Chain A
Amino acid sequence: MADIVTITIDGQDFQVPAGTNLVDAAKMLGTDIPVFCYHPKMEPVGMCRMCLVELGSISVNRETGEPDLDENGEPVVRWFPKLQTACTQKTYEGMVIRTTTEKVVAGRDDILEFILTSHPLDCPVCDKGGECPLQNLTMAYGPGQSRFVFTDKLNLDKHVPLGELIYLDRERCIQCARCVRFCDELVGDDVLAFHERGRRLQIVTISDPPFDTKFSGNTTDICPVGALTTTDFRFGARPWELDEVPTICPYCPVGCNLSASTRLDRDTGGKKIIKRIMPRQNEEVNEIWICDKGRFGHHHSRSTERILHPMIRKGDELVTVDWATAYAEVAARLKKYGDRTGFVAGPALSNEDLWELRKLTRLVGEQRQRGLWPATMSGIEAIAQAGAGVGTRVQDMGPGGAILVIASDFEEEAPIWWLQVKQAADRGVKVVVANARGTKLDKYAAATMPYAYGDAVAVMNGLAARARSRKKIARSLVESRVDGMDALIDSLKGVKVPHPEAADLLLDADDLLIFAGGEGLTLAQHGELMQAAANLLILTAHVGRPNNGLVAVWPGANVQGAMDMGFSAETTAALLDDPPPMWFIAEADPAGEDVRAAEVIANAECVVVTSLFMTETAQQADIILPGQSFAERDGTFTNGMRRVQRFYTAQGPIGDSLPDWKIFAHIGRQMGGDQPRISTGLVMREITEKVFRYADMGYPNLARVEKQFPDVGGDDLYYGGTAYTNTGGLGVQWKTNAEHEQHRLTVRPVNVDSFAADGLQLIPVRVLYDRGMWFRVSDVMDQRVPAPYVELNEADAAGLGIADGEQIAVVLGERTVEVRARVNGKTPAGYALLPMRLSDAPTLTVPAAGVVQKIEE
């Protein structure tokens, strides 16, 4: 811990840690120092000169070490003759500042006058107007009258596309470099830069494609003026017309907190719609950042392709019916097939949906075949035992910590976690990346642990073996609470440790956090990987405390919740192996994503779906029930760190659509179940009573907020950016067994078998910008979604006579999909990487042997 020092702000003494940035320190103590260029998440640069203060030090007698006193007995302060920028100062003992004197006010006034000499009078038409730091500070300090008496100001380009998502207005830019520094320093993507110098200094994009980063939208939030605007929102509405609704991103396991800016809109005949998505501050989750998928991927919610009414297949035709008919029909089918129904829950159903679906499965029969889609990852037991400790915040980790990311293309699968881990690496956290191919995180890693696809479990098991041989086993934990030790220790004898040096970086750290993805693993292997990770973490006591433990990079926003509610990928796999005649598929598109699932569903006797769109699966359905997007309803998601978070209704329903939980409850009622609850809050109350890990998840708890640092939003717009103050709740994490003292922990030997590599293995990989059932309709991001492709090793491509860029065929059993070959030197020999959800036809979700070939002429 840093030493505590005494500083004086405007005559009042405060205790703060030494070396705190002065602007931050003042803010924490309730004094606003205005800033433009300084941002609490970035290093100071001292550019805008807005943060001027009078700075002095208490004069100390060199001999006695006591402060010198004046005739009144007050300490003598030695003042700097000139005003100083607060953002470039760190707190030290005896620091004295004045922030309200005439000199300070005049200094700030002067800086604003300078800025305004070049700034256009755009406020009435500027997107930032109403939430603009420059506007606000001009009101607070600015000169009443301009002394820059010229008929014209600087004229520069006002509509400069920095790529297709962000526009730059060069006149409005005040050269604070926040956007450049965000990209360079925080993200590490060299995509923006200054061109020229002096008054001609201007922002340009230096990447091809332009502004090529997954985090570009954040620059518009931290831009202190209206210089950067998004294609999505610019000129779309005025900030004061907008009603902010707290919501949660439905795309990935990070669970970024969002704010949906809504208004009653002409485009929808006066109905409330989302005009834009903004980050909402949650320092426990996404801080103030979101990725571009979360920001721009909301358009599906009001797409014209949405299914508007329940439909029942009559022969070749789908006939629109009312809900009562639909409920009765579904209930009749469920009664008919009973236990022989496979239920499959999608990756972003809310916990309330899942609970009602679970109740429905109980009404149908004893088997309760509750599957989860996609069926690629498992290991809920490992999470339950050794999941990341409550209060884990990657941004708190320092040089004593280590992070292992295994089997994941992390930036593609969990962008904001990637961003946090990348920054952790910058701070000296030992980041180790284990994967069968290179990923973007490697560049920042302290070490990598390359392995061949199929060997991930062996790598993880090797770490445990290393812990054993280096005597890193935490005796006290193991002896008091762990079962299965002997068998595990026996199994680790003689196990090869693939990368001992990298392993030691992890084993020697005080804190160890593991992010485990599912790339290149079969479902069974994934379960073993998770157990192997839990073994390691339990053996070394990296469980049950913040910044330690296991995080699964689940393939969806609420896969964690689905598992918590009793759905599993193993069940789906079993259902696919032994298909039941009836399928009930909720907000998932197995037939559109996986050839095997497509086959099975095509052959089913009866298929019922809830869906927003006519997906491949919906097209096979006998009964189609229109569900609702995250925007039209409320509920909770549980993120990959087991944090249950509320989202709220942002816009009105489309057509007759209903939230899934209501649909399931109504069907259940037809089957003799309870009267449907009238709100999600009541559904959650039932969950809190029945699911012990969710006992604390009542809505009032989840909605709790507290003051967060840095302080953004509200009246301090100039301080942290336009991320919104969190009014929707910070959410609550459920405790792992390790955190319940009375629980015992279990370890067991794992099966490290690789898969038989006969011929070319096709490895499905996740890409952020895909054609998943919702994101494919998010129009503004179209250009970022690549055409379907497969990545091949040069030698394999040469052997098949395939050239880079060539359109080729991937044969998947009976079906063939055409994709473009990418031969780029990154793919290991013997494997072809096939992105999931990029093609319009189903491909693979789990690794399989396959054939890649030239297309016959």
Chain B
Amino acid sequence: MTHILLRDLDIPDIWQFDTYVANGGYEGLKKAVQEHSPQEVIQIVLESNLRGRGGAGFPAGRKWSFIPQDAPIKYVTVNADESEPGTFKDRQLLEKNPHQVIEGAMIAAYAIQAAGVYIYCRGEFWDLAHALEERIEEARQANLVGENVLGSGWTCDVYVHLGAGAYICGEESALLNSLQGLLGQPRVRPPFPAQIGGGLYYQPTVVNNVETLANVPWILVNGADEYKKIGTPQSPGPKIFCMSGHVAKPGNYELPLGITFRELIFEHAGGIRDGKELKAILPSGASGPVLVATDEVLDTPLTYEDVAALGSTLGSASIILMDEDTDMVWAAAKMTHFFKHESCGKCTPCREGTYWLDRIYERLLRGEGTQHDLDMLHVVPKQMAPVTLCALGEFAANPVLSTVTQFPEEYERYIQRSDAPHPEMADAMSTVTRGTTGEVPEAVAEGGA
């Protein structure tokens, strides 16, 4: 099969500008700029029903159409913060097929007549970000980026920005704050990024995931109808599935949306490691509810709508497999600790709720848990999730609720034991939970930063 997104698997050198161009690269941008009005480009993407690959699955064309056309300054921001546990697709795209992302972003920018494109990379993408700047320069030299793009009179440059390593900065409004040099915390919405006052520097802004934009050049070249032939009507197009956990062949798999879990896991990814039984699936990293690997689940098509019907979410399709030996309490503790660590602290329920949950898990891992702790694992997430400012609070509730309800006996075992099952992890949790001034740099303890 030839790939649409992970084209490096077919053409290893595609990261090079010449190779990319020799293989049809930048034709989508040329077509957009030379043959279509911005409105027509939005229309094409709308018709393709390309849905956002960053997690929420919001139709990209709809998002672009929200941008007020008469606003004098507009921006496109590419979300390359890729921080969800088990997600590593954007990285491969940016590393191995970077021009396609740049091209997609420029098409989006043309569609909304943006004044600039900002690629926000997670802090750890240090090398990648620097290489990306070279790729952008190549495109700039070829008049595909920058002043008077392809002689159209429209000017738009592309900039790369590195974050400082915070999961929350993948949330679009926190990302915009971070990009502006402010504290990486989500904003109150409305105004939404597409609206005046809500975007980058408070100007209307489209925020799209890397993979979303990587789809766009193909759609421009081949048309919306061709695109819809891939996948399902509600979830069209190819999708990169990031396979990790107890899977035999971890890695990225580009497949049409709509294939089932079973096909993906057993036909493509080599099944479960060491021939073990599959116990549970995290379909969208740490942030979606855990699915018990029943036949019903395995035969569910991987689409936004079908996974949602199971009570979970496709998210960014970072599929983490857990085999029969997996300790679900331990796994939930891990994820809880992650969310506690990544909570930005802006809103009370998430800041305090993730802290509370973390402390309960710490006690469970020490073998000191009580029935009250188990009761609280049912209560705290429900008390937290519906009232947080951003979705991280909901994400944080998912691993807890979905494990306490689906694996109650494992939890019961934890409170009945007299030994400490995971003392080292409990210790690790407590250092960041309760360290007093130890966790505060000296200058800060003095009141200065």
Question: Footprint of B on A, CB under 8 Å?
Answer: 44-50, 52, 82-83, 85, 88, 107, 110-111, 113-115, 117-118, 147-150, 152, 154-157, 160-163, 168, 174-175, 193-202, 204-206, 208, 210
- Name the residue on A nearest B376 (C-beta): A147
**Given A46-B389, A147-B379, A202-B444, also A115-B345 (CB < 8 A):** no
- Tell me if B's interface is mostly helix, strand, loop or mixed: helix
Q: How far is the CA of A154 from the CA of B430 in the complex (A)?
A: 11
Inter-chain contact A197/B444, CB cutoff 8 Å: no
B183 interface hit (Cβ, 8 Å): yes
**What's the minimum C-beta distance from B186 to chain A, rounded to whole angstroms?**
9
Give every chain B residue within 8 A of A47 (Cβ-Cβ): 346-348, 389
Q: How far is the CA of A721 from the CA of B16 in the complex (A)?
A: 60
Give every chain B residue within 8 A of A199 (Cβ-Cβ): 340, 343, 345, 351-352, 354-355, 433
- Count contacts between A and B, CB distance < 8 Å: 137
Inter-chain contact B348/A48, CB cutoff 8 Å: yes
13 interchain pairs (CB within 8 A)? Answer: A47-B389, A111-B387, A155-B434, A160-B447, A161-B446, A175-B348, A197-B343, A199-B345, A199-B352, A200-B345, A200-B439, A202-B440, A202-B444
Inter-chain contact A49/B434, CB cutoff 8 Å: no
B22 interface hit (Cβ, 8 Å): no
- Name the residue on A nearest B168 (C-beta): A197
* Seed contacts A154-B355, A198-B340; 7 additional CB < 8 Å A-B pairs: A47-B347, A114-B383, A115-B348, A156-B436, A157-B436, A199-B433, A200-B439
**Given A115-B352, A150-B359, A199-B355, also A160-B446 (CB < 8 A):** yes
Inter-chain contact A198/B345, CB cutoff 8 Å: yes
Give every chain A residue within 8 A of B347 (Cβ-Cβ): 46-49
B349 interface hit (Cβ, 8 Å): yes
Tally of contact residues, B, Cβ under 8 A: 46
Inter-chain contact A52/B387, CB cutoff 8 Å: yes
Inter-chain contact B434/A149, CB cutoff 8 Å: no
B15 interface hit (Cβ, 8 Å): no
B254 interface hit (Cβ, 8 Å): no
Inter-chain contact A157/B355, CB cutoff 8 Å: no
**Given A148-B356, A194-B183, A197-B343, also A45-B188 (CB < 8 A):** yes
Inter-chain contact A162/B447, CB cutoff 8 Å: yes
Give every chain B residue within 8 A of A48 (Cβ-Cβ): 347-348
Q: Which of B405-449 contact A (CB under 8 A)?
A: 432-434, 436-437, 439-440, 444-449
**Given A49-B388, A154-B434, also A198-B355 (CB < 8 A):** yes
Q: How far is the CA of A210 from the CA of B386 in the complex (A)?
A: 39
**What's the minimum C-beta distance from B362 to chain A, rounded to whole angstroms?**
10
Inter-chain contact A49/B449, CB cutoff 8 Å: no
Chain B, residues 107-130, CB within 8 Å of chain A (1/0): the string is: 000000000000000000000000
Inter-chain contact A198/B342, CB cutoff 8 Å: yes
Inter-chain contact B352/A193, CB cutoff 8 Å: no
Give every chain B residue within 8 A of A49 (Cβ-Cβ): 347-349, 387-389
B341 interface hit (Cβ, 8 Å): yes
Q: How far is the CA of A578 from the CA of B435 in the complex (A)?
A: 74
Inter-chain contact B348/A197, CB cutoff 8 Å: no
B353 interface hit (Cβ, 8 Å): yes
Q: How far is the CA of A542 from the CA of B386 in the complex (A)?
A: 54
Give every chain B residue within 8 A of A163 (Cβ-Cβ): 447
Inter-chain contact B188/A175, CB cutoff 8 Å: no
**What's the minimum C-beta distance from A167 to chain B, rounded to whole angstroms?**
9
Q: How far is the CA of A200 from the CA of B441 in the complex (A)?
A: 12
**What's the minimum C-beta distance from B114 to chain A, rounded to whole angstroms?**
27
Inter-chain contact B386/A82, CB cutoff 8 Å: yes
Give every chain A residue within 8 A of B387 (Cβ-Cβ): 49, 52, 82-83, 85, 107, 110-111
Inter-chain contact A205/B343, CB cutoff 8 Å: no
- Name the residue on A nearest B355 (C-beta): A199
B166 interface hit (Cβ, 8 Å): yes
Inter-chain contact B379/A161, CB cutoff 8 Å: no
- Tell me if A's interface is mostly helix, strand, loop or mixed: loop
Specify which of B168, B370, B445, B449 is in contact with A157 (CB 8 Å cutoff): B445
Give every chain A residue within 8 A of B439 (Cβ-Cβ): 200
Chain B, residues 2-43, CB within 8 Å of chain A (1/0): the string is: 000000000000000000000000000000000000000000
- Name the residue on B nearest A87 (C-beta): B188
Give every chain A residue within 8 A of B447 (Cβ-Cβ): 160-163, 168, 204-205, 210
Give every chain A residue within 8 A of B446 (Cβ-Cβ): 160-161
Give every chain A residue within 8 A of B433 (Cβ-Cβ): 199
Closest 9 CB pairs of A and B: A201-B345, A114-B352, A198-B343, A199-B355, A204-B449, A46-B188, A155-B436, A110-B383, A198-B345
**Given A46-B347, A194-B183, A199-B343, also A88-B444 (CB < 8 A):** no
B404 interface hit (Cβ, 8 Å): no
Give every chain A residue within 8 A of B436 (Cβ-Cβ): 155-157
- Name the residue on A nearest B345 (C-beta): A201
**What's the minimum C-beta distance from A54 to chain B, rounded to whole angstroms?**
12
B335 interface hit (Cβ, 8 Å): no
Inter-chain contact A198/B341, CB cutoff 8 Å: yes
B179 interface hit (Cβ, 8 Å): no
Q: How far is the CA of A194 from the CA of B185 in the complex (A)?
A: 11
Give every chain B residue within 8 A of A201 (Cβ-Cβ): 344-346, 351
Inter-chain contact B188/A44, CB cutoff 8 Å: yes
Give every chain B residue within 8 A of A83 (Cβ-Cβ): 386-387
Inter-chain contact B444/A195, CB cutoff 8 Å: yes
**What's the minimum C-beta distance from B265 to chain A, rounded to whole angstroms?**
34
Q: How far is the CA of A197 from the CA of B343 in the complex (A)?
A: 7
**Given A52-B387, A198-B342, also A114-B444 (CB < 8 A):** no
Q: How far is the CA of A197 from the CA of B166 in the complex (A)?
A: 9
- Name the residue on A nearest B339 (C-beta): A198
Inter-chain contact A195/B449, CB cutoff 8 Å: yes
Specify which of B166, B345, B352, B445 is in contact with A117 (CB 8 Å cutoff): B352
Chain B, residues 357-398, CB within 8 Å of chain A (1/0): the string is: 001000000000010100010010001101111000000000
Give every chain B residue within 8 A of A147 (Cβ-Cβ): 372, 376, 379
Inter-chain contact A149/B372, CB cutoff 8 Å: yes
Q: How far is the CA of A12 from the CA of B125 in the complex (A)?
A: 56
Q: Which of B193-209 contact A (CB under 8 A)?
A: none
Give every chain A residue within 8 A of B384 (Cβ-Cβ): 114
Give every chain A residue within 8 A of B342 (Cβ-Cβ): 197-198
Give every chain A residue within 8 A of B372 (Cβ-Cβ): 147, 149
Inter-chain contact A197/B345, CB cutoff 8 Å: yes
Q: How far is the CA of A195 from the CA of B185 in the complex (A)?
A: 12
Q: How far is the CA of A107 from the CA of B184 in the complex (A)?
A: 27
Q: How far is the CA of A115 from the CA of B346 in the complex (A)?
A: 12
Q: Chain B CB within 10 Å — which of A47, A110, A114 has the most?
A: A114
**Given A162-B447, A198-B343, also A117-B355 (CB < 8 A):** yes
Q: How far is the CA of A205 from the CA of B168 in the complex (A)?
A: 24
Inter-chain contact A205/B448, CB cutoff 8 Å: yes
Give every chain B residue within 8 A of A200 (Cβ-Cβ): 345, 432, 439-440
Q: How far is the CA of A199 from the CA of B353 in the complex (A)?
A: 10
Q: How far is the CA of A162 from the CA of B443 in the complex (A)?
A: 12
- Name the residue on B nearest A90 (C-beta): B190
Q: Chain A CB within 10 Å — which of B342, B433, B444 has the most?
A: B444
Inter-chain contact A160/B348, CB cutoff 8 Å: no
Q: Which of B161-200 contact A (CB under 8 A)?
A: 166, 168, 183-185, 188
- Name the residue on B nearest A166 (C-beta): B447
Give every chain B residue within 8 A of A205 (Cβ-Cβ): 447-449
Q: How far is the CA of A117 from the CA of B440 in the complex (A)?
A: 20
**Given A114-B348, A175-B345, also A198-B448 (CB < 8 A):** no
**What's the minimum C-beta distance from A623 to chain B, rounded to whole angstroms?**
50
Give every chain A residue within 8 A of B343 (Cβ-Cβ): 197-199
- Name the residue on B nearest A108 (C-beta): B387
- Name the residue on B nearest A88 (C-beta): B188
Give every chain A residue within 8 A of B445 (Cβ-Cβ): 157, 160
Q: Chain B CB within 10 Å — which of A49, A201, A208 has the most?
A: A49
Inter-chain contact B183/A204, CB cutoff 8 Å: no
Q: How far is the CA of A88 from the CA of B390 in the complex (A)?
A: 14
Q: How far is the CA of A48 from the CA of B168 in the complex (A)?
A: 18
- Name the residue on B nearest A159 (C-beta): B447
